[in-house]
Amino acid sequence: MYTVGSYLAARLSQIGLKHHFAVAGDYNLVLLDQLLTNKDLTQVYCSNELNCGFSAEGYARANGAAAAVVTYSVGALSALNAIGGAYAENLPVILISGAPNSNDHASKHLLHHTLGTHDFLYQLEIAKKLTCAAVSIISAADAPALIDHAIRTALREKKPAYIEIACNISAAACAAPGPVSAILSEDPSDLATLEEAIAAATDFLHGKQKPVLLIGSKLRAAGAEKEAIELADALGCSVAVMAAAKSFFPEDHPQFVGIYWGEISAPGAREIVDWSDAVICIGTIFNDYSTVGWTAEPHGPGVLTADTDRVHFEGHDFGCIHLRDFLAALALKVEKRDATMVEYARIRSERPTEPVAEPDAKLMRAEIVRQIRPLVTPETTVLAETGDSWFNGLQLRLPDGARFEVEMQWGHIGWSVPATFGYAVAAPERRIIALIGDGSFQLTAQEVAQMIRLKLPVIIFLMNNHGYTIEVEIHDGPYNNVKNWDYAGLIDAFNAEDGKGRGLRATNGGELAKAIDVALANRDGPTLIECVIDRDDCTADLISWGRQVATANARPPRAD
């Protein structure tokens, strides 16, 4: 016997979820009971719904998909911010909200947790804008079809979906779920189009001498990481990655030339991409941030764009092609073209590595990065928050297997605390390191308590520069100052009577090294290391990038 709630649980489990994230509320309590009946799914609780959404977002990064369960309006409207993030970041997160009793629709009743009007549709309408599929279940008979539609669409499009379930329907009987293949199956590439696209792309490359691959952040969502390596191997050309795609192409691959990000690119990477006569952009996103204020965007007849389901370049536009099929088929057709590697070998240089600081010298940002470097093993995932943490993280060299997560399209400060929690729930076997600024941490700090609750040995480097330094570099004012907290002391408050989290403060390199030793030894909970640095001790990259973004923001209105 299935109920609407247990049907939903079965489907979540079938698509590979072992957990779902939740905050309780009276519109979803019966649903939570139903989800608990599935012994293959663990319910994981969050401190608030924004964090619940971001925890699921982080889980989806490690696991491929995720679910968050919240209550009506007061919960869901907070979670929807994170769902917008999942949309921007191409992650299939299923947001499930309890909803008013089906009898209250079209009745004279006013309900709590609503606007105090008879409109119970506004949440669904908002969710439609932020998801690829949004359904409302007010009849158990319709539940299987609606649930399947939402989950299938999310998995196909790698975008979030929304399911709201009337609170009196969650425990109502419904049909049993069928085979999961009905949800997982997807339309194959159109073969005739694929063939023509490959012929045209081969022609395009035939006339070119200096191709490069530029890897973008949609590569993982498209499930095409392996195929990108195949194409790189076949062409023998240089491969640059965009910042948001760090770790999506192996950094120890011999053709990897580093991050392409305009004037703050890895040494040689910008020169190679600009010199190329055929930039193959794979799953790239060019926005104001990734183009460094519109100063670095490959354009013109030498650009071939291979997107998630579409390939286009001068005079051609082919749809209905999966990226992985295009890359794999092209790899079989192209000839070696290694001019960009020959040139790169001539011009390459290394960024200078950070000098070792005296153990009792005042802590500086560069020393922190130097001490984090050896922690990054093949089993490590680094999550880097918006702020100078982006730029610090991007400077870490990743051995094969290491992963790197940023939320560069949505860019919600505070994302990384719950996302790290969710990621750690999904991947407890990995070493998980979070790089977070003080300002960002203050948005979502509570989720460290959930890391303590689940004894997750996450290591958090909290850069306390006493302000919104990234904003300082873009446009400064009194609004960029942050009230200081006793960040290390906060962990004791979160521990209460039973927690095993550790909070430490480092003001010099010696203290930082000792704190890292404590963190590595603490397997029973998170360790937060507050790294105290000067307000303006930031990367040169942040300064250069911030200046260009500020210039782009300050463009005057057009006269026309």
- Which of 437, 503, 525, 526 forms a contact with ligand TPU (CB under 6 A)? 437
What is the C-alpha to C-alpha distance for residues 45 and 453, in angstroms, rounded to an integer? Answer: 10
Nearer to ligand TPU, 25 or 411 (CB): 411
Q: Does 412 sit near ligand TPU (CB under 6 A)? A: yes
Q: How far is the CB of 263 from Mg ion (least distance, A)?
A: 23
Nearer to ligand TPU, 92 or 437 (CB): 437
Q: Does 539 sit near ligand TPU (CB under 6 A)? A: no
Nearer to Mg ion, 439 or 546 (CB): 439
Q: Does 47 sit near ligand TPU (CB under 6 A)? A: no
CB 517 within 8 A of CB 375: no
Residues 392-411 that bind ligand TPU (CB under 6 A): 411
* Cβ-count burial 15-48 (b if 16+ within 10 Å, e if not): bebebbbbbbbebbebbbebbeebeebeebebbb
Q: Does 387 sit near ligand TPU (CB under 6 A)? A: yes
Q: Does 440 sit near ligand TPU (CB under 6 A)? A: yes
Nearer to ligand TPU, 84 or 223 (CB): 84
Binds 23, which of Mg ion, ligand TPU, none (CB < 5 to 8 A, cut-off by type)? none
Q: Does 388 sit near ligand TPU (CB under 6 A)? A: yes
Q: How far is the CB of 390 from ligand TPU (least distance, A)?
A: 8
Tokens linked to 236: 């023998």
Give the single-character DSSP code of 336.
P
Nearer to Mg ion, 27 or 545 (CB): 545
Q: Does 465 sit near Mg ion (CB under 5 A)? A: yes
* Cβ-count burial 206-245 (b if 16+ within 10 Å, e if not): eebebbbbbbbbbbbbbebbebbbbbbebbbbbbbbbbbb
Q: In what order do the strands lie in the sheet with 161-166?
A: 42-45, 19-22, 66-70, 93-99, 161-166, 133-137
- Which of 235, 470, 512, 531 forms a contact with ligand TPU (CB under 6 A)? 470
Residues contacting residue 161 through CB under 8 Å, at least 6 positions apart: 92, 93, 94, 95, 131, 132, 133, 134, 135, 150, 151, 153, 154
Q: Vertex 423, ends 418 and 429: CA angle to 5°? A: 140
What is the C-alpha to C-alpha distance for residues 262 and 285, in angstroms, rounded to an integer? Answer: 14
Binds 210, which of Mg ion, ligand TPU, none (CB < 5 to 8 A, cut-off by type)? none
Q: How many residues does the chain have?
A: 560
Q: How far is the CB of 351 from ligand TPU (least distance, A)?
A: 19
What is the C-alpha to C-alpha distance for residues 98 and 240, in angstroms, rounded to an integer? Answer: 45
CA distances 549 to 228, 347, 556, Å, are: 30, 28, 14
Binds 389, which of Mg ion, ligand TPU, none (CB < 5 to 8 A, cut-off by type)? ligand TPU
Binds 388, which of ligand TPU, Mg ion, none (CB < 5 to 8 A, cut-off by type)? ligand TPU
Q: Does 438 sit near ligand TPU (CB under 6 A)? A: yes
CB 308 within 8 A of CB 283: yes
Binding span for ligand TPU by CB under 6 A among 149-157, 361-369, 371-379, 382-390: 382-390
Nearer to ligand TPU, 360 or 534 (CB): 534
Q: Does 444 sit near ligand TPU (CB under 6 A)? A: no
Question: What percent of the chain is helix, strand and coil (3-state, nearest 5)?
Answer: 40, 20, 40
Residues contacting residue 23 through CB under 8 Å, at least 6 positions apart: 45, 46, 47, 48, 49, 52, 69, 70, 71, 75
3-state secondary structure 506-538: ECEHHHHHHHHHHHHHCCCCCEEEEEECCCCCC
Tokens linked to 331: 């790899």
Q: What are phi and psi of 369, to 5 degrees?
A: -60, -40
Residues 419-438 that bind Mg ion (CB under 5 A): 437-438
Nearer to ligand TPU, 71 or 386 (CB): 386
What is the C-alpha to C-alpha distance for residues 337 and 345, in angstroms, rounded to an integer? Answer: 15
Q: Does 413 sit near ligand TPU (CB under 6 A)? A: yes
Nearer to ligand TPU, 1 or 540 (CB): 540
Q: How far is the CB of 533 from Mg ion (least distance, A)?
A: 9
Q: Does 162 sit near ligand TPU (CB under 6 A)? A: no
Binds 140, which of ligand TPU, Mg ion, none (CB < 5 to 8 A, cut-off by type)? none
- Number of other CB atoms surrounding residue 541 within 10 Å: 22
Residue linked to tokens 């979803």: 28
Nearer to ligand TPU, 85 or 98 (CB): 85
Binds 211, which of ligand TPU, Mg ion, none (CB < 5 to 8 A, cut-off by type)? none
Binding span for ligand TPU by CB under 6 A among 265-273, 369-377, 393-401, 465-473: 465-473
Binds 102, which of ligand TPU, Mg ion, none (CB < 5 to 8 A, cut-off by type)? none
Q: How far is the CB of 409 from ligand TPU (least distance, A)?
A: 12
Binds 30, which of ligand TPU, Mg ion, none (CB < 5 to 8 A, cut-off by type)? none
What is the C-alpha to C-alpha distance for residues 124 and 116, in angstroms, rounded to an integer? Answer: 16
Binding span for ligand TPU by CB under 6 A among 150-158, 243-251, 271-279, 380-388: 380-388
Q: Does 386 sit near ligand TPU (CB under 6 A)? A: yes
Q: To 10 degrees, the CA torsion angle through 96, 98, 101, 107? A: -80
Q: Does 266 sit near ligand TPU (CB under 6 A)? A: no
- Which of 283, 418, 439, 526 forms a contact with Mg ion (CB under 5 A)? 439
Strands 310-313 and 303-307: antiparallel
Nearer to ligand TPU, 413 or 519 (CB): 413
| Contact footprint for ligand TPU (CB under 6 A) | 386-389, 411-413, 437-440, 463, 465, 467-471
